[in-house]
C-alpha cells in the first residue's frame, strides 16, 4: 500500500500549499512562468480540502511547511538563508523555522531524559527550563548540573520524529522514481540517489550519539581556528535521544539589529563565516553542513559559536583538490583550466568539447567579477548553470551534495550580514592558501612519501606478489609464460620497484 499512500501524501502537499495560500506566494517568489503558476494551482485547487490548515497566525509559506512536517521544514530552513532567491520578505518569514517552532511539553522532555540517563531528572539537574529553542528534529532546554552548578544545554529529540521522517522520505522516493520514469532527461540529475543521500543524512541526525561524536571530531579539527568556538559535549549525560553540552552565550547571527547594538562588525562576521566554512571543507575535509543562522551565535568577544552537529559533511582529499582547483580557476578567470579539471575528474563525459565547455563557464563566471555583489542575481546564475550542466551531460555528484548545499546556505548567511559581500574576493585567500600547500611540487613529494609508506608495509610481500603475477600471466598453460602476458607482469613489478625508488628519492628531498 506504499504507492497509494505516497500519492496521497504528495496530493496533500500540493493541497496544503494551496489551502494556506503558500502556493501563490512560493510561485511568485521563484518568479515561475505564468503557465506553471496556473497549472499548479488548477491541479491543486480541487484537492485543497485535503490540505492542512496550519496555524493561521503565521505567514502562508511558514504555515504550510510547518503543517507538512519536519522534512518540509528542513527545505524551508535552506530557503530562509537565500533572500536573493526568494526575496527578503519570504526569507524573513521562513527564518522562524530554524529554531522557533512549536515545542513539545517539558514533561515529555523530562521523561525521555530520565529514560536515556537511567535516573530521575531531579537527581542530575538542579533546574530544567522550558524549551529555549525548538527546531524540526529536536528542542533544547537550559539546565544546571546539580553536582557542579554548571549551566548546560540539553537537546531532546521530538517524540515520533523517526516515523514522521520515514513517511516523508517514502513519498520523496516515490516522487523521484515517478520523475525519472516520466522524464528520462532528469535521470542525469539522479533524483533517487539524491533522496538516498538525504535519507542517510537524516537517519544519522536522529541518533544524538552520532552528533556528539561529530562535535568531538569537529572540535579537535578547529581547536586553533581564531574567532571560532564550539560547546563541549558532556558524554556521561548523553544518549541516543538526549545530548548534553556546555551552554553557549551569544547573540543569534541572524539578529542584525542586536549585532549592531552590541558593536559587532557585520561585514567582518560575514567574511569570517564564509572563510571558516571554506577552510574546514578544504583543509579538513570535514565541515558543519547545517550552518544557517539558527545554528550560529556571536559571543561577546566576537567569536562565532557553532552548534547543532547533526549534519556534518565529509569529502576525501582528491575531491578537495578538484573543488579547490575549480574555485581557483574561477577566481583567476582561467576557464580553460576549470573545464579541464571537470573533464579530468570525470564530471563531464569525455566525448564533449572542452573548449565549448570553457566558453560556457566563462559566461557563468564573467558577470561575477567587477560587479557589486548585491546586483548579481544568484537565481539567474543558478538557472544558467543548470542549462550548462544539461547541455554537457553532467550528472549529479551525490558525494558533493552537502558541500554544494552548504556553500549555498553559508553564502546566504554571509549576504544576510553584509549584502555587498563578494564571495569570490572573500574566498580567494583561503583557496590560494590551500592551492599553495596542497597542489604543486611539495604536495607531490608528500603524496609520494605516502605512497612509500604504503609500499614499505607491503615490501615483504612484494616478491610473492610478483611471483603470483607471473604465475597468473602464464595460466592455464604449463609452458613458460607468453611474452604478451609476461611483459605486463614484469612491467607491473618494475613499476612497483620504480615507485619505491621514486618515493625514497622524494622522502630525502622533503
HEC string of 6-58 equals HHHHHHHHHHHHHHCCHHHHHHHHCCCCHHHHHHHHHHHHHHHHHCCCCCCCC
pLDDT exceeds cutoff 80 at 12: yes
- Pairing state of beta strands 228-229 and 251-252? unpaired
Residue (of 241, 221, 245) closest to 232 by Cα position:
245
Average pLDDT for 130-147: 91
User: Would you please indicate which residues are annotated as catalytic (active-site) residues?
Assistant: 290
pLDDT exceeds cutoff 90 at 128: yes
pLDDT exceeds cutoff 60 at 317: yes
pLDDT exceeds cutoff 70 at 192: yes
Average pLDDT for 306-314: 88
Q: What's the confidence (pLDDT) of residue 270? A: 93
pLDDT exceeds cutoff 80 at 204: no
471: confidence class by pLDDT, cuts 50, 70, 90: confident
Q: What's the confidence (pLDDT) of residue 320? A: 87
155: confidence class by pLDDT, cuts 50, 70, 90: very high
247 vs 501, higher pLDDT: 247
pLDDT exceeds cutoff 70 at 177: yes
Residues with Cβ within 8 Å of 351's Cβ and at least 6 positions away in sequence, in order, are: none
pLDDT exceeds cutoff 90 at 6: no
H-assigned helices in 103-207: 106-117, 121-124, 161-182, 191-205
pLDDT per residue as tens digits for the range 32-47:
667 767 777 777 778 7
474 vs 380, higher pLDDT: 474
Average pLDDT for 196-214: 83
pLDDT exceeds cutoff 90 at 169: no
pLDDT exceeds cutoff 70 at 486: no
Q: What's the confidence (pLDDT) of residue 496? A: 39
* 403 to 289, 312, 320: CA distances (angstroms): 7, 10, 10
Question: Which residue matches cell numbers 549585532?
Answer: 259
Least confident of 172-186, 241-255, 332-346: 172-186
Which triple of cell numbers denotes residue 101? 517552532
The overall pTM is greater than 0.75: no
Which triple of cell numbers denotes residue 380? 539567474
Q: What's the confidence (pLDDT) of residue 490? A: 39
Which triple of cell numbers denotes residue 342? 571537470
pLDDT exceeds cutoff 90 at 501: no
Residue (of 124, 113, 118, 121) closest to 147 by Cα position:
124
pLDDT exceeds cutoff 50 at 11: yes
Average pLDDT for 424-444: 79
Average pLDDT for 414-419: 88
Rounded distance, CA 421 to CA 411, Å?
9
130: confidence class by pLDDT, cuts 50, 70, 90: very high
What phi and psi values does residue 142 have, to the nearest 5 degrees?
-90, 135
Least confident of 8-12, 199-203, 335-339, 458-462: 458-462
What phi and psi values does residue 125 have, to the nearest 5 degrees?
-115, 135
pLDDT per residue as tens digits for the range 323-381:
888 878 877 888 899 889 888 888 888 889 999 989 988 887 787 666 665 566 554 55
Least confident of 79-93, 99-113, 252-266, 377-391: 377-391
Q: What's the confidence (pLDDT) of residue 487? A: 44
Burial of 46 (0-12, 13-18, 19+ CB in 10 A): exposed
Burial of 313 (0-12, 13-18, 19+ CB in 10 A): buried
Q: What's the confidence (pLDDT) of residue 502? A: 36
Domain residue extents for the chain: 2-97, 162-203, 249-439, 441-509
User: Mean pLDDT, the chain, as a whole number?
Assistant: 79
Least confident of 225-229, 418-422, 431-435, 459-463: 459-463
Amino acid at each position: 500500500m506504499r504507492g497509494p499512500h505516497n500519492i496521497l501524501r504528495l496530493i496533500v502537499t500540493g493541497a496544503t500549499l494551496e489551502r494556506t495560500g503558500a502556493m501563490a506566494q512560493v510561485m511568485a517568489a521563484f518568479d515561475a512562468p505564468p503557465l506553471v503558476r496556473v497549472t499548479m494551482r488548477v491541479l491543486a485547487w480541487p484537492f485543497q480540502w485535503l490540505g492542512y490548515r496550519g496555524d493561521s497566525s503565521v505567514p502562508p509559506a511558514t504555515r504550510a511547511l510547518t503543517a507538512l512536517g519536519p522534512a518540509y521544514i528542513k527545505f524551508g530552513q535552506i530557503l530562509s538563508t537565500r533572500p536573493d532567491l526568494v526575496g527578503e520578505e519570504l526569507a524573513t518569514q521562513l527564518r522562524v523555522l530554524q529554531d522557533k517552532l512549536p515545542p513539545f511539553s517539558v514533561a515529555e522532555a523530562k521523561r525521555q531524559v530520565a529514560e536515556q540517563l537511567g535516573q530521575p531528572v531531579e537527581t542530575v539537574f538542579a533546574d530544567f527550563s522550558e524549551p529555549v529553542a525548538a527546531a524540526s528534529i529536536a528542542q533544547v532546554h537550559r539546565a544546571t548540573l546539580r553536582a557542579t552548578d554548571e549551566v548546560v544545554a540539553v537537546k531532546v529529540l521530538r517524540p515520533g520524529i523517526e516515523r514522521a521522517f520515514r513517511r516523508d522520505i517514502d513519498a520523496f522516493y516515490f516522487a523521484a522514481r515517478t520523475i525519472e520514469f516520466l522524464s528520462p532527461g532528469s535521470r542525469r540529475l539522479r533524483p533517487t540517489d539524491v533522496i538516498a543521500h538525504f535519507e542517510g543524512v537524516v537517519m544519522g541526525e536522529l541518533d544524538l550519539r552520532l552528533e556528539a561524536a561529530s562535535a568531538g571530531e569537529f572540535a579537535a579539527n578547529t581547536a586553533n581556528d581564531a574567532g571560532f568556538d564550539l560547546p563541549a559535549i558532556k558524554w556521561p549525560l548523553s544518549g541516543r535521544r538526549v545530548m548534553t553540552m556546555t551552554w553557549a552565550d551569544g547573540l543569534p547571527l541572524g539578529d542584525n539589529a542586536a549585532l549592531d547594538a552590541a558593536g559587532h562588525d557585520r561585514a567582518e562576521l560575514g567574511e569570517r563565516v564564509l572563510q571558516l566554512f571554506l577552510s574546514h571543507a578544504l583543509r579538513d575535509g570535514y565541515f558543519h553542513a547545517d550552518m544557517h543562522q539558527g545554528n550560529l551565535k556571536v559571543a561577546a568577544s566576537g567569536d562565532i559559536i557553532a552548534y547543532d552537529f547533526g549534519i556534518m559533511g565529509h569529502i576525501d582529499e582528491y575531491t578537495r583538490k578538484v573543488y579547490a582547483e575549480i574555485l581557483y580557476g574561477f577566481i583567476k578567470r582561467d576557464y580553460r583550466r576549470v573545464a579541464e579539471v571537470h573533464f579530468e575528474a570525470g564530471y563531464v563525459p569525455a566525448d564533449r568539447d572542452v573548449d565549448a565547455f570553457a566558453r560556457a563557464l566563462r559566461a557563468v563566471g564573467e558577470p561575477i567579477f567587477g560587479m557589486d555583489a548585491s546586483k548579481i542575481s544568484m537565481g539567474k546564475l543558478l538557472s544558467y548553470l543548470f542549462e550548462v550542466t544539461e547541455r554537457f551531460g553532467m550528472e549529479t555528484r551525490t558525494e558533493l551534495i552537502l558541500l554544494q548545499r552548504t556553500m549555498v546556505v553559508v553564502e546566504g548567511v554571509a549576504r544576510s550580514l553584509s549584502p555587498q559581500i563578494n564571495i569570490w574576493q572573500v574566498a580567494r585567500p583561503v583557496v590560494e592558501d590551500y592551492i599553495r600547500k596542497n597542489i604543486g611540487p611539495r604536495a607531490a613529494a608528500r603524496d609520494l612519501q605516502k605512497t612509500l609508506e604504503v609500499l614499505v608495509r607491503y615490501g615483504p610481500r612484494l616478491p610473492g606478489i610478483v611471483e603470483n603475477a607471473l604465475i597468473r600471466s602464464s595460466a592455464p598453460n604449463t609452458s613458460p609464460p607468453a611474452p604478451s602476458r609476461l611483459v605486463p607482469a614484469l612491467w607491473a613489478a618494475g613499476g612497483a620497484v620504480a615507485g619505491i625508488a621514486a618515493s625514497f628519492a622524494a622522502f630525502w628531498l622533503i
